[in-house]
Chains A and B, each alone.
Chain A
Amino acid sequence: MSMKCDLVVVGAGPGGSMTAKTAAQAGLKVVLLEKRQEIGDPVRCAEGVGKRALCEMVKPEPEWIAAEVKGAKIYAPDGTSIVMSEDKSGSEVGYVLERKVFDRALAMQAAEAGAKVMVKTRALGLLKKDGVPCGVSAMRVGEPLQIEAPIVIGADGVESKVGRWAGIDTALKLKDMETCAQFLVQDNTIDDEYTEFFLGNSIAPAGYAWAFPKGEKLANVGLGVLGTRSKPGEATRLLKDFVKARYPNGKVLEMVVGGDPCAGQIESTTSDGVMLVGDAARQTDPLTGGGILSAMQAGIMAGEVASKALTAGDVSKAGLKEYEDRWREDIGKHLTRSYEFKEFFVKMTDDDLNQLLGSLKKEDISKMDLRGMLRVLFRLNPKLLWELRHLVV
């Protein structure tokens, strides 16, 4: 079977659905492909997002918000903790989502805007004419399907192939990927009001552990380990230890695993007729691993640029340059900064981490944003943070 459209989007995660919705709203004929039979399932996410940035893009719906938090607590390896309030602690807190419902709701919005959603449909490769991509070949419930389209969006997540098919090397090095495991834990000791972050090289080497509340005494409890510090099965093994130590009576109701890119800006996210969005473009925050919002933001940009490029009749790499420029100006700058922090953070010993968080004990940081807190940290620990001085001023 074959079909024709203006834009084919591979992957119905937050990035793909926002691209499809934006492009369909601009009047494009859009097909959104998802290889899974159920959008959003299985989840590979801790589901934390910043409230403000999310609400700028979509109207919050109670059915996909599992919990709302007041702020974040960060624990040093020695147990010292600091508390940051919600409006100051940046993009990782605010809401904890129910992504199975959220991802489907976004796909539904794309469908309502006019996009054709096709599930259990896996892209297998790019169709090419004179070497230039002009659609995708796919398999739909075991049957071949060809979709011709002048522009293809790769929103195909951590396992992205679209970029590679188009000649963009998106393979991640072990030092640029966190390997993660997470349990949905029910326990009476769970803090329902704060997201918690636990640092320490024995808890999560060159990563961190987290507990994000999901309503009544339930939380996503997980951890990420830097690829270079991992062994086969290490993330799950360390998580079992962590849960046993922190929630000895906790009950595990769900298991999630996944890879979270922490690569910073990659060299290219466009080629003739192709744009990459979200995890496929490695747009995840390298320090925190948060990638829902940046995937959605990039999706909106890609949808707008697709519409403009088709109107202008130029879908070449040069014609799609506006996408590259726009996301780098906005998301990209943040990624670069965050990547430098990550590269520094992964070298820290437990003593360093204890010193840093300990130094904040006597300071009132409750009203500070991340930048303000960094400034204080730098004032108190100039030697330790010397390498980061250019980021702090």
Chain B
Amino acid sequence: MLTVNRYKCCYCGACVGVCPTCALELVETFIEVSPDCKECGICTKICPVGALEVKA
């Protein structure tokens, strides 16, 4: 499962731009993850603050 640490997230939208399945949405100040997430982990690498993590 992809988890978003909302205490870390600075709502910049970088993760949304790289998600190949369009599973993320930046709702002003928080990130929503849709069921389309394939847990590929691409977004976790781009996050400048490390707010995203794919957990088993």
Question: A residues within 8 Å of B by Cβ?
Answer: 35-37, 42, 44, 120, 122, 157-161, 164, 170-174, 177, 179-181, 227, 230-236, 255-259, 261
Contacts and interface: CB of A to CB of B under 8 A. Distances in A.
A234 B11 CA distance: 16
B14 A158 contact: yes
A173 B17 CA distance: 9
B53 interface: yes
Contacts of B13: 44, 157-159, 258-259
A259 B20 contact: no
B45 A230 contact: yes
Given A257-B14, A261-B17, A171 B49 contact: no
B14 A259 contact: yes
A266 to B, nearest CB: 12
B46 A171 contact: no
Nearest to B25: A161
Nearest to B24: A159
Interface residues of B, number: 27
A177 B52 contact: no
24 contacts: A42-B12, A44-B13, A120-B28, A158-B16, A158-B17, A159-B13, A159-B16, A159-B17, A160-B17, A161-B16, A161-B25, A171-B18, A179-B14, A181-B49, A227-B18, A230-B46, A232-B52, A233-B50, A234-B50, A235-B48, A236-B48, A257-B49, A259-B14, A259-B15
A232 B45 contact: yes
Contacts of A179: 14, 45-48
A160 B11 CA distance: 14
Given A171-B20, A172-B18, 20 more contacts: A36-B28, A120-B28, A158-B12, A158-B17, A160-B17, A161-B16, A161-B22, A171-B19, A172-B17, A174-B42, A177-B46, A227-B46, A232-B44, A232-B47, A236-B48, A236-B50, A257-B12, A257-B48, A259-B14, A259-B17
Contacts of A35: 27-28
Given A36-B28, A122-B27, A232-B53, A174 B46 contact: yes
A55 B51 CA distance: 39
Interface in B3-17: 10-17
Nearest to B26: A159
B49 A233 contact: yes
Contacts of A227: 18, 45-46
A300 B8 CA distance: 37
Contacts of A177: 14, 17-18, 46
A37 B28 contact: yes
A297 to B, nearest CB: 21
B26 to A, nearest CB: 5
Contacts of A36: 28
Nearest to A37: B28
Nearest to B54: A232
Contacts of A164: 22
A233 B25 CA distance: 20
A177 B13 CA distance: 12
Contacts of B42: 174
Contact of B28 (A122, A170, A234): A122
A36 B53 CA distance: 26
B22 A255 contact: no
A181 B14 CA distance: 11
A161 B17 CA distance: 9
A119 to B, nearest CB: 10
Nearest to B47: A232
B40 to A, nearest CB: 11
Contact of A233 (B14, B20, B48): B48
* Residue with the highest number of chain B CB atoms closer than 10 Å, among A159, A172, A180, A233: A159
Contact of A181 (B45, B48, B53): B48
